[in-house]
Structure 1
């Protein structure tokens, strides 16, 4: 039986009603955004453009405006290179096609790299 919160569920699950290992990668991508932005995946009291953390992040990423999303308490302590790599990792985890998402071991490798930037 599938358990989980709506904001973390793989969009492919809604289409096929089947979870995969890459479904966990999608959920991990949501957690990465939570850490970076210090907010929950779904906040229904926010304006339409910001209800979904994933959708909002995608728009900001595509528009080169990620800085507006970063938690102000950590913004000054993150290098530009670290922010770029971390954001790219999150985006790759959140790809709609699960086959294109990295493996969890790849995610760990990228995070280890990001920590030294």
Structure 2
């Protein structure tokens, strides 16, 4: 059973979504506002309630008072960090469930594979 879960996770990709093209105008200056954010996708949304993930992950990461989570869709979420150091620590340590994909996208460059 564990092997089938591992195989299912390996075939999932965050690259399946179409990219969003945002014009470089003042009304679309979201890069600075979202510089310290992680985009994530629940890899098993039927078994992972979004609200529970948004509530629990900041506690697991030990940054609960310096990050806020936002549900973007049924399976996509965003965590916005007050400090870049917290974001880097989360990416480095990878605390949390292995069935969550996280990416840090730096404006002006294509998103890195998760």
Bigger helix share: 1
What is the TM-score of this pair, normalised by structure 1? 0.23
Q: Which has the higher contact order (CA 8 A, sep 6+)?
A: 2
